[in-house]
């Protein structure tokens, strides 16, 4: 049996990141938060969203609007079968707001903005900032793990995909 390379593994699972960010967009539109275990994580999309289709080189839409979850351009892209590949998010974790960009291919956070840290010496401030970074990284991991659990459960994913489809189909982009 031929050995599966890391590139093959990435290629086979790359769709998950796009589905995850698209699911988060739906969550931000419908609930503005996701319950993961005992924790509630607030999710809001900010000004910049990139959506793409099966061939990102030809089917990419980079959209900058104040409210991506309310944008007719975003909805049109979703209606055309595109999924979110990059987004600017505001996540609220334990009452603290974090702003970051996330790319679907790696789930890497770009330009993370942490909540303000008050007082103390440099070492205390540095430690607090590292703790906040760990907190938001864990929140993204928890959201992704929660999504994957939904995604691998056929019945639950069928219900969730139906809710997302109804949302996309029901939005009037010309109204």
Secondary structure letter of residue 175 according to DSSP: -
Q: Is residue 17 part of a domain?
A: yes
Secondary structure letter of residue 65 according to DSSP: -
Cα separation, 141 vs 136, whole angstroms: 9
Buried b (16+ CB within 10 A) or exposed e, 94-126: eeeebbbbbebeebebeeeebbeeeeeeeeeee
Q: Is residue 12 part of a domain?
A: yes
Report the pLDDT value the prediction gives residue 28, as an integer from 0 to 100. Answer: 95
* Distance, CA of 98 to chain centre: 13
Written as six digits, the tokens of 144 are 């992704």
Q: Is residue 59 part of a domain?
A: yes
pTM, rounded to two decimals: 0.89
Could you list the residue range(s) of the whole structural domain that residue 165 is in?
6-170
Report the pLDDT value the prediction gives residue 3, as an integer from 0 to 100. Answer: 80
Looking at the structure of the chain, the number of domains it has is: 1
Q: Taking the alpha carbons of 102, 107, 112, 116 in that order, is the dihedral positive or negative?
A: positive
Encode pLDDT of 151-169 as tens digits: 999 999 999 999 999 999 8
Res. 172 pLDDT band, cuts 50 70 90: low
Q: Is residue 1 part of a domain?
A: no
Q: Is residue 47 part of a domain?
A: yes
Q: Is residue 175 part of a domain?
A: no
Going from the C-alpha of 14 to that of each of 7, 17, 103, 104, 129, the distances in angstroms are 10, 6, 11, 8, 31
Cα separation, 96 vs 103, whole angstroms: 22
DSSP 94-134: TTEEEEEEEETTT--EEEEEPPP--SS-HHHHHHHHHHHHH
Encode pLDDT of 104-131 as tens digits: 988 999 999 999 998 789 999 999 999 9
Residue 172, helix vs strand vs coil: coil
Q: Is residue 85 part of a domain?
A: yes
Burial zone of 161 (CB within 10 Å; 0-12 exposed, 13-18 middle, 19+ buried): middle
Q: Is residue 28 part of a domain?
A: yes
Encode pLDDT of 10-68 as tens digits: 666 678 999 999 999 999 999 888 999 899 999 999 999 999 987 766 778 899 999 99
């Amino acid at each position: 049996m031929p050995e599966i390379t890391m590139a093959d593994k990435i290629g086979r699972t790359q769709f998950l990141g796009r589905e995850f960010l698209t699911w988060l967009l739906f969550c931000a539109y419908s609930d503005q938060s996701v319950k993961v275990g005992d924790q509630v994580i607030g999710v809001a999309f900010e000004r910049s969203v990139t959506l793409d289709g099966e061939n990102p080189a030809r089917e990419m839409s980079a959209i900058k609007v104040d409210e991506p979850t309310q944008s007719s351009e975003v909805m049109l892209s979703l209606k055309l079968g595109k999924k979110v590949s990059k987004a600017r998010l505001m996540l609220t974790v334990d009452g603290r707001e974090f702003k970051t960009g996330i790319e679907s291919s790696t789930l890497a956070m770009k330009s993370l903005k942490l909540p303000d840290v008050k007082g103390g010496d440099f070492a205390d401030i540095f430690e607090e900032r590292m703790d906040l970074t760990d907190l938001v990284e864990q929140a993204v991991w928890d959201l992704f793990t929660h999504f994957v659990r939904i995604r691998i459960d056929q019945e639950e994913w069928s219900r969730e995909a139906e809710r997302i489809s109804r949302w996309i189909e029901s939005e009037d982009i010309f109204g």
